[in-house]
Structure 1
Amino acid sequence: MNKLREMLAKFMYGRYGTDRLNMFLLIVLIVCAGLNLFVRNGYFSIVMSSWETLLIVLIYYRMFSRNIQKRYAENQKYLSLENKVKRFFGRTKYIQEQRKDFHIYTCPQCRQKIRIPKGKGKISVRCPKCGAEFVKKS
């Protein structure tokens, strides 16, 4: 067992290995394979099988690549995209949580979002960005 481990370590020396992008591609591959199992359509199966083959080749290519800088740059681009998606959904979740206790209005002049507590009746709101005043029900 140790001999096999040493041989694998020698083979992988100087190669890129796996990263978050490869893990994402592996998850996409598993989803494609699951869809291919449950959807019994000839054309769909052919398309999904070709996607699965392409993903397997891409995963192994990235894993065994010796061009570490290029694979690292690809992973960094993926991570920045993943962070944008996480921030978008996190922001949306935060806004939905705030809607329980606050009304969120938009300034008619500068389109700035303003958060007003619920249950205060009719109030005059002054925009902190442009200084415009408008009346809203809270």
Structure 2
Amino acid sequence: MTPALIISVTFIVMLCGCMLAMSVHVLRKVQRLQERLDNDMRALRGEITAVSRGAVGLGKRVKKVQDTLQDTRRRQEDLENKDMGDVAIIHASKLALMGAPTEELVSTCGLSKAEASLLSLMAARSKAEGRHAA
């Protein structure tokens, strides 16, 4: 073998060794980067899970508030309807005390026939007690 060939082979072997060392170095860098990316992905998945659970919890709270609001509206409507019914009963009582017939109480105040009859009886009794007391 000639010295030029030995130098060339040595140079090629050294060049291959340097390339191998650089490849190993780059491979380790890529592995470290991959580990960091994996860790970041795990952290992000954890955060997404936490946010999702929070959103579900918030959704349940919003649903509960909506249900409460709906119940409150229903109660308010019931109270308003009750007040309207009370006004009708009071008006019907006054009419009954003035001697209005049962049919008029039914048509004017929107009472059932049984309610109107009861009010008429109570008015008649009240008038009778008023006469006895005087």
TM value normalised by structure 2: 0.27
Relative to its length, the structure with more strand (as a share) is 1
Report the structure number with the largest CA radius of gyration: 2
Relative to its length, the structure with more helix (as a share) is 2
More contact order relative to length (CA 8 Å, sep ≥ 6)? 1
TM value normalised by structure 1: 0.27
